[in-house]
Structure 1
Amino acid sequence: MKRILIFFLLGFSLVLVKCKNSQPQSQIEVTSGIDAESGLAIDPNLMLVKGQCTACHSAKLIAQNRFTREGWKDKIIWMQKTQNLWDLGESEPAILDYLAKHYAPEARASRRANLENVEWYKLNED
């Protein structure tokens, strides 16, 4: 009986040590800047955004959109008018700060640059 109790206590202590030394997935992903659970950018306001926004829709809906601060504000107003989104109150500026910082339109060229210093020639019409 003593042996069984010793093996049980030894096994239980090993489990406790393993649990104590392991890190949650979200802490491991901090170095990459992306929250493992939601896929959203890590920021001091992340939990606020997750709490307010993902209560109704997926975080993927946030990540796939790109709006200016005013654009995000318009989306919030639209959700309040048509989707029964509650008043965000004092949280709204912090949510808008987060969205405008991490999910703003990306500046990128929509087409290639113009060709410069090209020596054009005429084609023969045969």
Structure 2
Amino acid sequence: MGKEEKFKEYVRAVYHMMLLVYSLIAIVGGVLIYAMIDPDFSAFKNDDSETYVAVEEIDEDLIENGIHVRTGFIDAEGLMTVINNCTNCHSSKLVTQNRMSKERWNATIRWMQETQNLWDLGNNQEIIVNYLVTNYPVEDKGRRASLTNIEWYELED
């Protein structure tokens, strides 16, 4: 082994040693900083003390004031069929904002089946469409009402 190869080997060994030392410094420094913030290391304790907050379980099918809490859908016949089929791919908000007629809903479902890989809904399609048309009917939005009782004024230059 020549001098140049020995030197390269020495540099490589020093480099690896420096990596080890810097890694240890980083780890020890992190632990020391954490110890200053949380001297009891309470995040690592596994006891049932009162300092821990219990996670409340949420009832996925809870209905309050006629509204399915998790989705915001109106509680009516066909609700669970709509939840089980429509919210697999998108949010309930997307469903409820699209107020369509029976024909438009059926056309939209056909489009989703042809282009978006929606499965065949079978008898559920009629249940879903009836639920949506009944609870989220088409709205005539039109223009807003004209403003009345307005006090007009001139803007100064």
Q: Structure 1 length as normaliser, TM-score?
A: 0.62
Unaligned runs of 5+ in 2: 1-57, 147-157
The structural deviation recorded for 1:110 is 3.4
Larger radius of gyration: 2
Q: In the TM superposition, what are the counterparts of 1:27-42 in structure 2 within 5 Å?
A: 27=62, 29=64, 31=65, 33-42=66-75
Q: 2:131 & 2:63 partners in 1: Cα distance?
A: 22
Is 1:63 paired with 2:88? no
Residues 6-62 of structure 1 deviation map (CA, whole Å, 9 limit, x = unaligned) = xxxxxxxxxxxxxxxxx9585451x2x221110111112100100011111111111
Superposed CA RMSD: 2.3
Counterpart amino acid of 2:118?
L
Contact 1:69 1:104 (C-alpha < 8 Å) held by counterparts: no
Q: 1:82 aligns with which of 111, 115, 119?
A: 115
Amino-acid identity (%): 43
The answer to whether the 8 A contact 2:62-2:70 is kept is no
Matches within 5 A, 1:1-126: 24=59, 27=62, 29=64, 31=65, 33-107=66-140, 110-112=143-145
Give the number of equivalent residue pairs: 90
Flag the structure with higher helix content.
Answer: 1
The secondary structure found in structure 1 opposite 2:127 is: helix
Query: Structure 1 CA distance, aligned partners of 2:77 and 2:135?
Result: 12
- Larger RCO of the pair (alpha carbons < 8 Å, separation 6+): 1
Cα distance 1:42–1:73, how it changes in 2: closer, same or farther (>3 A)?
same
Paired AA for residue 47 in structure 1:
M
For the residues of structure 2 that align with 1:35 and 1:46, how far apart are their CA atoms? Answer: 9
Partner of 2:22: none
- The one-letter code sitting in structure 1 at the alignment partner of 2:133 is A
Letter in 2 for 1:67: M
Partner amino acid for 1:95? Answer: I
Secondary structure in 1 matching 2:123: helix
TM-score normalised according to structure 2 size: 0.51
